[in-house]
Every structure is written in C-alpha cells, then in structure tokens.
Amino acid sequence: MSVDYTYIVARLNAVEASMPEDSWFDRLSRVEAGSIQSSLKEYFRGFEHAESIRQFEKVLETEKLEGLDLVSKLISSRDVSIFLRGGYDFDNMLYLWKANLLGGENESREWERLVPFGLIPPEKIREAIVSETGTYLPFYIKEIFERLSGITDETQMLMAQSLCESAKWQCMLDMAPSSYARFVTRCRIDLENIKSLIRSKRTDLRKSGQDHLWIDGGEIERLTLERLFQEPEDELYLYLNTSRYKWLTDHGLDSETDLWKIDPLMLRQLFNIMLDSRYRYFDIGPVICHLEIRERNIMLLRLIITGKINHLPDNDILEMVESILSS
C-alpha cells in the first residue's frame, strides 16, 4: 500500500514551525557559557531536566530519537522505516563486531557508544555476534552479518569496515521508497566518496588501500574515483566543476580549503540538492529534509556546547556555526 504523504508533510511542517531559526544558533554562539543551558531550554525541553550542561549528549540523543519516533509513527511502512533507520543498525553491528574481535572493551563504555536509533535492539545484535548465528536478525542485515562472521583477522579491519559501510548504503538504495529518495541517497554516497577522496589525498594513505575508500551506488562511478585518486588533487575540482556538484567549487572548495571545512561544505551541498524537496507534498522528500534539518540542528548544538565547555573563543565557535549555516 502506498503512503499518503500529504498529512505527514503537514504534521512535519507544523513541527518545523516550532523549531529554532538559523539566526538563533548565531545568537547562541555568543551566549555566556554559564547561561547557555537557560537559552537551550527555549527550544529543547530536555535541558530543563538536565542537572548539568555536560549531560548534553543524552539530551541530544533523546531529541534525535523523538524525531525518528515521530516519523516512524506517521509512516507505518516497513520498507520506509528500514530506509530511514536501518543504517543505524549497520553502525551498531560494525561497532559490536569490532569490540568482539578485539576482545571486548569495558562493558559500560561499550554500550555508551551504541546508538538507539535503529530498528534492532543492540542487545539482539550483540547476542548474534557472540553466538555466531544471525538466524533471528532481520533480512536486510543478515548478509553483511555472515560476511563479517567470516573475518577473524584484525588486519582485515579496514576491509570489514568498508564492507559494512557499503552494505548500509546499498540497503538504503534497495529500500528507497521513491525515485527521489534513491536520487538523494546516491548524492549522499557521492558526497561521502568526495570527502574520502580529499582526505586521502592529504594523508599518507597508501594507494594500495584505495579499494576500501569507495562506497558503490553513487552517480560518480568507481573507475572515475580511482582515476581521480591517482591524479593531482586539483583534477578533482576540475571534474566537480562540470558535474552535479559544481556548487561545491562555486562556494570555495579547492585544494586550499581547510579540512575542518569539508564536512560543512558537503552538508550545505546536500541541503542545496534537497531545496525543492520541501514542496514535494506527495513524496517522501519533505520527510528526508525534515530529518536532515533535525540532524543538522543537533550537530550545531553539539558544536556550540562543546565549544563553550572547552572555553573556545566565541568568534571561533561562530565561525564554525556559520560554515554550516551559510547559504
């Protein structure tokens, strides 16, 4: 049965009307560290119950989970839920698999690093890894579970991570509920590959390890990525200048761009791609955009709060905030 998105989009639009505008984050960047918790309560009620601002990660986790739960209640389709939340299950599986291979960590610390945003309880994933049987795991994650189970050498950790990341994105492509959702996913894969390519060019990564850099499924073919990997970094920007991602080079991405600015630029490119989705009232586009806005807001809050806790100058915090918010 197809999903009627008109009511869902109307509900999410009403929620967004009560969310902070971009200018609020600018103002928050200038608030004194001792007063920031009071300012946060204006839009994020979880801070009303936090004993200290240092408990912000738990509040932000709850904020994200509430957004995902709201969308999950509005959309009952199993495939759409997997598309929106299944990726977190792959992240938890990879982390728990690594911990098991390396002999485990302090148990309380281990569980702190897991995320509650997926569809499979982390306990169920851990049980499958320890017992070496994925019989009761959902279909979309069984294949990668079997492949990871066959890797017992710590030296193959990079390969395992690459396999899991690729499986996650392939799952999202397979479960994408519309051509638009598939298009956005392919763009997100491209942006991840572009980030990997830039970082690999600026580190001492051996060229023999490049196979583990790429996620398949994007619009930029693997052969193109491999070729650009072998060439000077400027060739990448010449290529982007004639591609769908010309916006990146138009807005300053080049070989002189500081590495810390790469992620904000990629995020802004994604939002630029999704601009028209806000008006797709009969499609999942506005839902994807809504969740991306929530994710971005959480990123901004984490950036500002950690900056205040670590006594960074307001101007430095503001520069990082504006690198994300700039149009």
Residue 84 CB coordination number (10 Å)? 24
pLDDT attached to residue 102: 84
Planar angle of CA 206, 162, 114, nearest 5 degrees: 125
Instruction: Determine the angle formed by the axes of helices 233-240 and 222-230, rounding to 10 degrees.
Output: 140
Q: What tokens were used for 316?
A: 């430095």
If you write DSSP's letter for every residue of 89-138 in order, what string do you get? HHHHHHHHHHHHHTT---HHHHHHTS-S-SSS-HHHHHHHHHHT--TTS-
Q: What tokens were used for 195?
A: 């980030």
pLDDT attached to residue 262: 96
Please, are residues 47 and 41 in contact by the beta-carbon 8 Å criterion? yes
- From CA 165, how far away is CA 174, in angstroms rounded? 14
pLDDT attached to residue 208: 52
pLDDT attached to residue 280: 83
- 76: exposed, middle or buried (Cβ count in 10 Å: 0-12, 13-18, 19+): exposed
Nearest to 285 by CA among 142, 165, 176, 207: 176
Q: What is the dihedral sign for C-alpha 286, 270, 267, 172?
A: positive
pTM given for the model: 0.92
Q: What tokens were used for 298?
A: 């959480």
pLDDT attached to residue 108: 46
Residue with tokens 């503001």: 318
**Tens digit of each residue's pLDDT, the chain (327 residues):** 468 899 999 999 999 999 999 999 999 999 999 899 999 999 999 999 898 999 999 999 999 999 999 999 999 899 999 999 999 999 999 999 998 888 765 454 555 678 999 999 999 999 999 999 999 999 999 999 999 988 888 778 888 999 999 999 999 999 999 999 999 999 999 999 999 999 999 886 555 556 688 999 999 999 999 999 999 999 999 999 999 999 999 999 999 999 999 999 999 999 999 988 888 888 999 999 999 999 999 999 999 999 999 999 999 999 999 999 986
Residue 193 CB coordination number (10 Å)? 22
